[in-house]
Chains A and B, each alone.
Chain A
């Protein structure tokens, strides 16, 4: 590497036709996923989940319980993978790190005055440094949507670059909060800014704003990743977050991922689901595939 990227003019990012992109996204939902393809897809989904708790009322106890679940999703079903990461606030990183020791599950921390991002840059940097020094393997930052909507793309770019610098070895996920950007054109522009500024992941949403992840928005971001890969040869990971709670929806996302970016992205290094309730629905479907009958929700833990 070492080659410098030529930074494009973000005022002229590619345009998106909203009807076309929504049609394409809905086409993926027409794929019929059955039998072993379904079971493999469901297990892969579990392995791609960032199990998340981001509440004001989070405590050490809550985080520890969630961490146990992350590594022991459903021990009644042998051979299940763990989730990819547990995603918490910076104050909970140390607790999660200790609880997950030896499990292979990463600790992801939101940072940069999540979820609004309305704080001075030095505060955001300190927030990030705190998370990383407590052991966060991944940092989920938010962009300054206000500045972005004002057209101050350099501000947004520089902020991402500054956070990336203090991440060290931690991988940086850049949350665009697409529900506040509203149009696909803006989602595309923000995706490009984030990738060129050093994002390892681009992520749709905080989960605090509606709408959160949708298939068309995710497709726009996947296509931005594809263009970036075409131009630079560098892979960027994707994380839709919020609103994906059913297995069927998760499988549709995997179909979209596979048919847009190909097999290299089909693992948890390059794709994540930011979700808290998805795991249990996937477990329920896996048990259904294994035993032929649906089990009551009482059989699946609610951590």
Chain B
């Protein structure tokens, strides 16, 4: 703006943002010293006799030890699920099935605070997110699919939909309880029984869910929850009496699963990695777009498969967006996930923190410009500052590979066609974001972007009624909505 430009160095100062601690109480969360396997409606000791620890990534303190299921335990769980399917669940009138699912949903709501606290303790995500996002969505998922249970004929008219049988479900550590809900709710609504394995770093909320399922009087064996690491997952995938595998996790493991089930008649849905393009056009509502960038990449410490990890900014607004983005990052509060004011919590595990650091070093070696939040980090626990790289090229590894952490790769573009080409130039295709004030531009991009979920003028919004899933190496099959029912039915 004319001569006033000399003042452009004026900086906003956010150094003094320092709220008194506001920790959520842990008293509502009852965590046992040891958890067994939930098989056939009971908690049973593992035949492996082995247990492993699960820790709080924010303090590195042990929370509990959890059974390590071996192939014999998996077999027991599958048998329980098969018996429950044959004798009870597949024969039960659909509206009776629905009542159980509604009951589970209500019990989750009643114990929402406990779930939120344990989710945060075990996984490191801020209590604000587990309280306001994860747990309410979990209850909503059960409510939504409970409603479908006795309406499947209407969901698929003239197709007489039939349940599949036993579903083996393997879920990741980034949204432990929410992913359990995404898996269990549609499976039960469609009349299948379940063997579910939570991730080894975040098993506690799934085990708490097992307690609720027990209290809900759901017939024994309909839902079995067993804990363990990769070997346990492999035993589920390879079990001959499983009809359907539903997996959410890394592309690498997704490929292993795909190989393992080749030649069997198991149905599969895979929800894998992503490297989403979040695209800011010059006519976007810039302040809200900046907020969308923050929600896109720093939500849940960037441990989000659909994270907006590649930011594309139109060159004409690049300076403005960068200035606002940096000011916004300066206000993010990183630290104790149990504090209600924390925006960015702990990285889920030491291993994941090392992966993120590896990529940050790659970015530095590639000669990219790095910007980090200047916030102080706690001395203990696994933490990473919100980070971004600028001047990133399409050929940079930072722009190509999934980092799964709070690291943003920023590229610029000039025209619509250019950004569509760049956005699609990736092996992944899970999600994308488009920011513009112009409706026709939104529709042009949404038809051309090869991604399963595209958000317009928002980012990382989830709803049980909306299908979610990927293109290309982001997997196949859809979860959520009407589409999510189809994945558990023969139609």
Q: Is B379 located at the chain interface by the 8 A CB criterion? A: no
- Given contact pairs A15-B437, A17-B285, A17-B288, A34 touches B20 in the complex (Cβ within 8 A): yes
A141-183 interface code vs B (CB 8 A; 1 in, 0 out): 0000000000000000000000000000000000000000000
From B285, which residue of chain A is reached at the shortest CB distance?
A17
From B456, which residue of chain A is reached at the shortest CB distance?
A17
B53 CB → nearest A CB, Å:
31
CA distance A223 to B18 in the complex (A): 22
Which of the 9-residue segments A23-31, A42-50, A51-59, A107-115 touches chain B? A23-31
- Given contact pairs A31-B341, A32-B340, A226-B12, A20 touches B4 in the complex (Cβ within 8 A): no
B288 CB → nearest A CB, Å:
3
Chain A residues positioned under 8 Å from B291 (CB to CB): 20, 23-24
From B286, which residue of chain A is reached at the shortest CB distance?
A14
Which of the 9-residue segments A83-91, A95-103, A255-263, A291-299 touches chain B? A255-263
Question: Size range of the interface on B?
Answer: 35 or more
Q: Are B20 and A264 in contact (CB under 8 A)?
A: no
Q: Are A263 and B323 in contact (CB under 8 A)?
A: no
B275-294 interface code vs A (CB 8 A; 1 in, 0 out): 00000000111111101100
Q: Is B33 located at the chain interface by the 8 A CB criterion? A: no
- Given contact pairs A16-B288, A20-B288, A24-B291, A5 touches B1 in the complex (Cβ within 8 A): yes
Chain A residues positioned under 8 Å from B21 (CB to CB): 34-35
Interface of B is mostly: loop
CA distance A14 to B284 in the complex (A): 8
A242-255 interface code vs B (CB 8 A; 1 in, 0 out): 00000000000000
Q: Are A233 and B458 in contact (CB under 8 A)?
A: no
Q: Are B3 and A230 in contact (CB under 8 A)?
A: no
Q: Is A36 located at the chain interface by the 8 A CB criterion? A: yes
Q: Is B14 located at the chain interface by the 8 A CB criterion? A: yes
Q: Are A4 and B3 in contact (CB under 8 A)?
A: yes
CB contact between A36 and one of B3, B14, B20 (< 8 Å): that residue: B20
B330-353 interface code vs A (CB 8 A; 1 in, 0 out): 010000000011000000000000
A148 CB → nearest B CB, Å:
21
- Given contact pairs A17-B285, A24-B288, A32-B340, A262 touches B13 in the complex (Cβ within 8 A): yes
Q: Is A64 located at the chain interface by the 8 A CB criterion? A: no
B6 CB → nearest A CB, Å:
8
Chain B residues positioned under 8 Å from A32 (CB to CB): 19, 22, 340-341
Q: Are B22 and A230 in contact (CB under 8 A)?
A: no
CA distance A32 to B341 in the complex (A): 6
Q: Are B1 and A231 in contact (CB under 8 A)?
A: yes
Q: Is A123 located at the chain interface by the 8 A CB criterion? A: no
Q: Are B14 and A263 in contact (CB under 8 A)?
A: yes
CA distance A230 to B10 in the complex (A): 7
Q: Is B262 located at the chain interface by the 8 A CB criterion? A: no
* Subset of 13 A-B contacts with CB under 8 Å: A17-B285, A17-B288, A17-B457, A20-B458, A35-B21, A36-B20, A226-B12, A230-B8, A233-B6, A233-B7, A259-B331, A264-B12, A264-B13
